[in-house]
Amino acid sequence: MNSPAHDDFGRDAVQPVSWPIADDSIRDVFAKMLSDGSWGRYHGPHCESLQTALADFHSVEHVMLCSSGTSAVELALRAAKVEPGDEVILAAYDYKANFANVLSLGATPVLVDTLPGLPILDPTQLPAAFSSKTRAIICSHLHGSFARIDEVASLARQRGIVVIEDACQTAGGTLNGRAAGSIGDIGVLSFGGSKLLTAGRGGAVLTNDAMLAQRIRLYTQRGNDAYPLSEMQAAVLLPQLQQLPHRTKLRLTNVQRLLQQLAPDSPLQAAIDPSPLQLGNSIPAFYKLAFRYTTRAGSKFDRESFCEELRTRNIPLDSAFPGLHRIHSQRRFRTAEDLPNADLLHENLITLHHPILLADALEIDKLAAVINATG
């Protein structure tokens, strides 16, 4: 049992939770790598085992391991044959590197609005955004909400546009019985140091399309793998993949417990899409948990100082992503419509980082109590 934690002023604080988790399964992997030398070799059994395990887990045909989630998105764009002058549609609220990846291929990002209050692309914005140059759509599951990937895919398929499903924040999530990352034409995963499956760095591209897979292999294989994931990285990912279903469920249970206890007038209101939970056979994954922040009447806090205050109590809250249209010159992208929902997310969104979501119930109760008593 944890002893109660306090901040410098003796106030209640939650126990800090460190990441990554070095449990016995990870210790065993390191011990085995030391004895068999696989930690330092180009080739060994681990990458192949990981490829097979990821293919089984996601029920996909092809898994290409690579050096990061960012490079996985780049490879997906290359597989979609995105070339200079082409256009790629993404939500105006999305991971910054996705925008940069489109630019790096000489293509133009076309930014569309999100659903109201949710960090996911609004599919009804797509028809106005399509042009004869549209090659791909990047569709990201973010902060505990699933993207509306089926609606996006049905609009894209009619036009031969490739749907890239960014599941970097959603490893282990299930949407209507399908693993996140397996639903779009191509899915991407990240194994970065903060992610739900972590190896410090690393990523993967998933697809059932043999041609897309072949293009990625041709691009990365230059007699040597130009975007490699190492044996050492693969080895530490394997046990985490086995633990992932259990941890995904525990995080969801704790999110539900936390949200039930937040005061109705809390400055934080959950910004997650409840509809997958009503669908059945769906389990959202929480790399971040999103909230809309509203300043309480008479409060001394704004969004940033509210997060700072709670971080002193070991509660990892941060302002979320900036809107891509708010931080890039308008010369870099195109829009078809206004972006009022993404503007609000830019101004109000806060995220809670995931390690605390594996804590025990008492810590979650304390987390809710400290949030309720602040602001």
Ligand X SMILES: *Cc1c(COP(=O)(O)O)cnc(C)c1O
Which residues are at the interface with ligand X (CB under 6 A)?
68-70, 95, 97, 140, 166, 168-169, 190, 192, 203
Q: How many helices (H) and strands (E) does the chain have?
A: 13, 16
CB of 97 to ligand X, least distance (A): 6
Query: Nearer Cβ to ligand X, position 183 or 364?
Result: 183
Q: How far apart are CA 295 and CA 268, in angstroms?
A: 9
Q: How far apart are CA 14 and CA 369, in angstroms?
A: 10
Query: Nearer Cβ to ligand X, position 106 or 193?
Result: 193
What letter represents residue 333's amino acid?
F
Query: Nearer Cβ to ligand X, position 57 or 95?
Result: 95
Q: How far apart are CA 31 and CA 27, in angstroms?
A: 6
CB of 187 to ligand X, least distance (A): 11
CB of 229 to ligand X, least distance (A): 11
* Pairing of β 162-166 and β 174-175: unpaired
CB of 198 to ligand X, least distance (A): 10
Query: Nearer Cβ to ligand X, position 199 or 371?
Result: 199
CB of 103 to ligand X, least distance (A): 15
- Per the CB < 8 A criterion, the answer to whether 130 and 337 are in contact is no
Structure tokens of 63?
Answer: 């898994």
In the chain, the DSSP E strands lie at 5-6, 12-13, 62-66, 87-91, 108-112, 134-140, 162-166, 174-175, 178-179, 186-190, 203-207, 268-270, 288-293, 317-319, 334-335, 349-353
**In this structure, what are the phi and psi dihedrals at residue 166, rounded to the nearest 5 degrees?**
-85, 105
CB of 96 to ligand X, least distance (A): 9
**In this structure, what are the phi and psi dihedrals at residue 67, rounded to the nearest 5 degrees?**
-85, -15
Query: Nearer Cβ to ligand X, position 129 or 189?
Result: 189
Q: How far apart are CA 337 and CA 359, in angstroms?
A: 42
CB of 75 to ligand X, least distance (A): 12
Which residue lies nearest ligand X, judged by its C-beta?
A: 69
Query: Nearer Cβ to ligand X, position 38 or 70?
Result: 70
Task: Give the long-range contacts of residues 35-41, CB within 8 A, separation 24 or more.
Answer: 38/231, 38/232, 38/235, 39/231, 39/232, 39/235, 40/232, 41/231
Query: Nearer Cβ to ligand X, position 219 or 301?
Result: 219
Q: How many CB atoms lie within 10 A of CB 93?
A: 31
CB of 296 to ligand X, least distance (A): 30
CB of 46 to ligand X, least distance (A): 19
What letter represents residue 24's amino acid?
D
CB of 37 to ligand X, least distance (A): 27
Vertex 187, ends 238 and 133: CA angle to 5°?
160
Query: Nearer Cβ to ligand X, position 74 or 86?
Result: 74
Q: How far apart are CA 154 and CA 273, in angstroms?
A: 20
- Per the CB < 8 A criterion, the answer to whether 2 and 13 are in contact is no
Query: Nearer Cβ to ligand X, position 68 or 108?
Result: 68
Query: Nearer Cβ to ligand X, position 196 or 364?
Result: 196
Q: How far apart are CA 292 and CA 269, in angstroms?
A: 5
